[in-house]
Amino acid sequence: MSESRNVVIVTGIPGVGKTTVINTAVEMVKENHDEDVLVLNFGTEMFEVASKKGQVEHRDEMRKLPTAIQRENQKLAGEAIAEKAKKTRVIVDTHTLIQTNNGYLIGLPEWVVRAIMPKTVVLVEADPEKIAQRRQDDPTRARDAQMVDTIETHQQMCRAAAVSVGTLTGATVRIIKNR
């Protein structure tokens, strides 16, 4: 019997327009296949863990926590997502690289992706200028300011991280440009 995989991971750097792409995908699946897809936000799962432990009050504080704590919460969030994906089709909204005080934390390390076993990793990309603009315009979040050239490097590193997930799990990797 061939294995069935229920999870598509959608990733892209902050401000790339991931949420819009996900909402469109959910509508398309509903229209074309009459199927519902559960969208799970990895950050929300982590925030649930971290806020229960009294570590943070806002989701943008999580990447400032000691890395050991972030990794611990990340593992718990990954396991919670894997459990939910046993029953239904899932899109996971997450990051491949999180900018922490100690450099980039890998969002999808081996133990997380082996638990989730995604079918596909979708990497959403956009023009660095547009991303910088969108971050400035979002009053709901405490986004880190980033220069256009660092945004470009960050996006390149995300490609490498997405390919690593494919290498570890056999997932396919798809790049989508958000225009």
In whole angstroms, what is the distance from residue 39 CA to residue 26 CA?
8
Nearest-10 Cα torsion for 58, 86, 18, 99: 50
Tokens 């089709």, located at residue: 89
Residue entry with tokens 């997405």: 162
Q: Name the binder of 43 from Mg ion, ligand AMP, none, CB < 5-8 A by kind.
A: ligand AMP
Radius of gyration of the CA atoms of the chain, in A = 16
Single-letter code of the amino acid located at 78: G
Residue from 46, 81, 116, 158 in contact with ligand AMP (CB under 6 A): 46
Using CB under 6 A as the binding rule, whether residue 94 contacts ligand AMP is answered as yes
Q: Which of 16, 49, 74, 116 is close enough to bind ligand AMP by CB under 6 A?
A: 74
Q: How many helices (H) and strands (E) does the chain have?
A: 6, 7
Instruction: Assess 119 for contact with ligand AMP (CB under 6 A).
Output: no
How far apart (Å, rounded) are the C-alpha atoms in residues 106 and 6? 22
- Provide the minimum distance between the beta carbon of 110 and ligand AMP in the complex, in angstroms, as a whole number: 13
Q: Which does 19 bind (CB under 5 to 8 A by kind): Mg ion, ligand AMP, none?
A: Mg ion
- Partner interacting with residue 76 (select from ligand AMP, Mg ion, none; CB below 5-8 Å by kind): none
φ/ψ of 106, rounded to 5, equals -75, 120
51 binds, among Mg ion, ligand AMP, none (CB under 5 to 8 A by kind): none
The answer to the question of residue 124 lying near ligand AMP (CB under 6 A) is: no
Asked if 75 touches ligand AMP (CB under 6 A), the answer is: no
Angstrom CA distances, 12 to 1, 20, 51, 146, stand at: 33, 12, 24, 15
Residue 62 interacting with ligand AMP (CB under 6 A): yes
Residues lying near Mg ion in the complex (CB under 5 A) are found at: 18-19
Residues lying near ligand AMP in the complex (CB under 6 A) are found at: 14, 41-43, 46, 59, 62-63, 70, 74, 94-95, 98, 105, 107-108
